[in-house]
Amino acid sequence: MTESLFTQTRWSLEDLFPGPQSPELEAAFQQLEAQTAALEALRPTLREDMPESAFQDILARIEQLHDLASRLYGYANLLFSEDTRNPVAQTLVARVEQFLAELANRTLFFELWWKGLPDPAAERLLAVSGDRRYWLETLRRFRPHTLSEPEEKIINLKNVTGQSALQRLYESITSRYVFRLTVDGEEKELTRDALMAYARGANPDLRAAAYQELYRVYGEEAPLLAQIYQALVRDWYNEQVTLRKHSSPISARNRMNDLPDEVVETLLEVCRANTEVFRRFFRLKARWLGVEHLRRYDIYAPVTQADKIYPFEQAAWLVLDSFEAFEPRIARLAQRVFEQRHLDSEIRHGKRAGAFCWSAVPGLTPWVLTNYNGRAHDVATLAHELGHAIHSMLAEHHSVLTFHATLPLAETASTFGEMLLVDRLLNEEQDEAVRADLLFRQMDDAYGTIQRQAFFALFERQAHEMIRQDASLEAIAAAYMDNLREQFGDAVDLSEEFQWEWVSIPHFYEAPFYVYAYAFGQLLVLSLYQQYRREGAAFRPRYLRILEAGGAKAPIQILNEAGVDVSQAAFWQGGFDVLSDLVAQLEALPLPA
């Protein structure tokens, strides 16, 4: 490891393809075409009594197709994410999506044949499917929601110019926004991520100004952004409920996550019943800030003047060393991201906002995107996204069809990684102001990951129904404000510009009802981390087995094997009990003079 690996740079995508117009990339299109044609030629061999060896050969061919298609799709989207204004990247994304949709239609016959097999025939072939078994079981789980082959083909093609195009349009529009903020008498032009650094800063006037500027821009654009959202919501309902016969819009996501509706409903209702835990915290935070009421601007305000900056090199070492102390193996995996230049941490105009980890295929180190500003929150984000990468790498022994963790478990390693980092910082930090700030940030992050996301899901459920009833933009905005009032009660003062927050949430557009996975993951990790603190080294093998399972088993099965029962409200309440204890610890601290 050299110091140059710990500088903020743009990532390298050369492990996928040398460039967007390279011969290797063009060859991938041709190879996928040839692989698809070869698979199509085997369609007549699909029979109930087909030899098991022939079935295994078809699965191997499908894996080859998925592997190369994932590389091509990943490259196009990562290229677009590093500069959403790049016309070459925009064109490539559109080309790849169209091409892969057409290939999906040509290979759709296998999934439809497999879903239609009688159970005895399917069981015989499942017995020889090896690591691909859960993928095959998942396909059959969707039998009641599968349409005819012509209908499925139409949906695949229309999604390219419909749903996917609208999502790409939203991302392109919002990534171009420039925000203006006056700091020390100088007007700055900022990206959203740079602007939000001030929303978490110590200056209350700048916090308010940052939020006001954010929602001034999004509010002015709300009529356009809401049109995109309404179209996506209607598209989701038309496909998932009207055509596929899911019982509700959120039920479609639950089925994708392989979670019973009852489990998700229990999670959301327990979150709803525990609003007072966070209201207590917000009242306490107001006292620490010396104000009568917390404003929504102040939700993530530091409680001390310890506005500490972490140079990127220091942040990288802190994260890796925190991982090393827990388990050297995961630190070595995280190092791969740096060593292979798969991290883009720069802040620049046109780059996608936020942070993510992209795992293309097993055996290929994932790519991590962050927008690093130097705050403690950014260090935690780095640990979070590297946790995702570790999760994928621990599961890279699985098939390309099963190595991705299912959504309910997708936040396990990332959130656990954050907690390892925070514990490390608390153990080493000598400055009491910084320590208090870190403790409060634990609750800040718990709010952002659990309660905020659960109420996002509750809002989505309401908004989808309202849009189906032709609700206006103003009515949806009013419903969002009611959602905020239920969260905060009398503990937080709300300003009217927050009615436009919902049009600024990318997950609402990109993946309806995705957000409850964050609450699921955080509450799960609170339980797991408490076990780690009690058991020490004895806990590690059980935790690593959860990560190593990837997406090769049902999430509830993986958790049951680890001794976790998510069907019980008491399990989720246990997570809130941990948070309530943390608030009590904070309430016991002396207020700053």
Domains of the chain (ranges; CATH) run: 23-146 (1.20.140.70), 163-304+436-515 (1.10.1370.20)
Beta bridge partner(s), residue 187: 182
C-alpha to C-alpha distance for 298 and 289, rounded to whole angstroms = 9
Backbone angles phi, psi at 204, to 5 degrees: -65, -35
Torsion of CA 126, 127, 129, 132, to 10 degrees: 70
Dist. CA 400–CA 181, nearest whole Å = 45
513 — phi, psi (to 5°)? 65, 15
Assigned token pair, 270: 């327990």
How far, CA to CA in Å, does 19 sit from each of 64, 79, 116? 22, 9, 42
- DSSP H/E element including 334: helix 328-339
Q: Which of 188, 195, 187, 201 is nearest to 215 (CA)?
A: 195
Euclidean distance between CA atoms 584 and 593, whole angstroms: 20
φ, ψ for residue 42, nearest 5 deg: -90, 0
CA angle 176, 180, 181 (to 5 degrees): 145
Q: Determine contact, residues 107/65, Cβ cutoff 8 Å.
A: yes
Q: What confidence score (pLDDT) does residue 81 get? A: 95
Q: What is the pLDDT of residue 544?
A: 94
* pLDDT of the residue at 365: 98
Instruction: Give the single-character DSSP code of 395.
Output: T
Q: Put residue 489 in one of left, alpha, beta given phi > 0 → left and psi -120 to 50 → alpha.
A: left
H helices, E strands: number in the chain: 25, 7
Q: In whole angstroms, give the CA distance from residue 40 to residue 328.
A: 46
Instruction: Note the pTM of the prediction, 2 decimals.
Output: 0.81
Note down pLDDT in tens along the chain; length 593 residues.
Answer: 455 568 899 999 999 999 999 999 999 999 999 999 999 999 999 999 999 999 999 999 999 999 999 999 999 999 999 999 999 999 999 999 999 999 999 999 999 999 999 999 999 999 999 999 999 999 999 999 999 999 999 998 898 889 999 999 999 999 899 999 999 999 999 999 889 989 988 899 999 999 999 999 999 999 999 999 999 999 999 999 999 999 999 999 999 999 999 999 999 999 999 999 999 999 999 999 999 999 999 999 988 766 678 999 999 999 999 999 999 999 999 999 999 999 999 999 889 988 999 999 999 999 999 999 888 878 989 999 999 999 999 999 999 999 999 888 998 999 899 989 988 888 887 777 777 777 888 899 899 999 999 999 999 999 999 999 999 999 999 999 999 999 999 999 999 999 999 999 999 999 999 999 989 989 998 888 888 888 889 999 989 999 999 999 999 999 988 888 899 999 899 889 989 988 998 898 888 87
What are the strands of the beta sheet with 343-344, ordered from one edge? 343-344, 367-369, 356-358
* Alpha-carbon dihedral angle through residues 444, 386, 334, 78, given to the nearest 10 degrees: -160
Distance from the Cα of residue 43 to its chain's centroid: 36
